[in-house]
Amino acid sequence: MKPAAHRMPRLWLAALALAALVACSSSPDKPRPVDLGPAATVVGTQLVWSAQVGANPGAVAPRATADRVFVAGAGNSIVALAAESGKELWRLALGSPVMTGIGTDGDTVAVVTQNNDLVAMAAGQPLWRVRLGASAQTAPLVAGRRVFVLAADRSVSAFDGQSGKRLWTQTRTGEPLVLNQPGALLAVGDTLVAGLGGRLVGLNPLNGSVRWEAPIANARGTNEVERLVDIVGPVSRVGNSVCARAYASAVGCVDASNGRITWSKSALGAQGLGGDDRLVFGSESDSRVQAWQRSNGDAAWSVDRLKHRGLTAPVALGRVVALGDATGLVHLISREDGAEMARLSTDGSAIVGAPLLVGPSLVVQTRNGGVFAWRPQ
């Protein structure tokens, strides 16, 4: 890895860019959300449980397995909830705010804190803690008894899941400005796929060697902000098909078995994607919801009914697509044409991360610490 001193200018630029974006978002001229009108009830839903884990001011995205939901809670803690009932199973305070979303294979849980500590835990007990050389915004990936980390300096590292020993690091140089939001890190078969700049890169998880690179977008423009095209998470994966968004520039799909780009289209969104075997879904910077054909990228439909509502990335659930918004609403829209199917209320604070599918249930967490699970009827 490069010495930390060489990375500091890049991280300061990222912080300055984030401050500028926040300033713009709080402008008094910010567009007002479109009036929603009465809620549709085409799809029935039942609230099966709710829980309160304490405020999540860091907007840490939750993660779920088949039987558990892992969320950030009050007191800089990670909380495990039973997926069927919402019952709290364990809670572990980390001593420092959590910076990333949560990674888990169902047994080991991993996060990165504001102190740049990679922390692994299991059954509510700490396993190990390792200080990273750079900050991270992307949730660690826990797979194959290893913990993989994508850091803000565009390095990817692997750690032994039992001991925390660093196994390898792949470092990538690039533009000096990096995006201060979650990127892409996932396993596809025996390949580790990471978003590095505007590219998806396939790595050998055993040693970090590069197998392929696929550019979703190429950096262009006359200044560092205009050239910012980092891959943003989450991505939509169906088999070997991985579809991703390059920040404010493009959406595209890649065959992760060989790195071949299936298609890439211009798009101006800043949130990740959802999808199924036929369509890919996302929202543009003004919260216009867009669907593309997964096979070729042709536009399937778009709707502007949810404009300026600060939408999360979407998730596909049967015949509906679910998106959270900045006012605590969860919108269920038709997979086929984007028509409203139902509207769900939480506690009035912003939905954090994309909604989760946990068995037959849809689960969201709010910034105020509410966790809600519904079951479509």
pLDDT tens digits along 12-33: 344 434 434 433 444 457 788 8
Q: Does 218 have pLDDT greater than 90?
A: no
Cα–Cα distance, 287 to 338 (Å, whole number): 13
Give yes or no for residue 9 having a pLDDT over 70. Answer: no
On whether the CB atoms of residues 109 and 78 are closer than 8 A, the answer is yes
More confident residue, 221 or 24: 221
The confidence score (pLDDT) of residue 22 equals: 39
What is the model's pLDDT at position 37?
87
Pairing of β 260-266 and β 351-358: unpaired
The secondary structure of residue 66, as a DSSP letter, is S
Is the pLDDT at 167 greater than 70? The verdict is: yes
By the 8 A CB rule, do 346 and 331 touch? no
* Residue 219 near residue 227 (C-beta atoms within 8 A): yes
Q: Is the pLDDT of residue 310 over 70?
A: yes
Split into its structural domains, the chain has a count of 1
Can you give the pLDDT at residue 168? 98
CATH number of the domain within which 263 lies = 2.130.10.10
pLDDT of residue 57: 84
The distance in angstroms from the start CA to the end CA of the chain is: 51
DSSP designation for 28: T
* Range in 47-51, 179-183, 281-285 the model is least confident about: 179-183
pLDDT at residue number 122: 96
pLDDT of residue 28: 55
Q: Provide the residue type at 20 as one letter.
A: A
Q: What is the pLDDT of residue 24?
A: 43
> How many whole angstroms separate alpha carbon 92 and alpha carbon 292?
41
Q: How does residue 172 score in pLDDT terms, banded at 50, 70 and 90?
A: confident
Q: What is the pLDDT of residue 174?
A: 62
Q: Is the pLDDT of residue 330 over 60?
A: yes
Euclidean distance between CA atoms 269 and 96, whole angstroms = 31
Report the percent of the chain where pLDDT is more than 70. Answer: 90
Amino acid in position 120: A
> Residue 176 belongs to what domain range?
4-376
The whole-chain average pLDDT of the chain stands at: 90
Threshold 0.85, pTM exceeds: yes
pLDDT of residue 175: 61
The token pair that represents 363 in the structure block: 């689960």
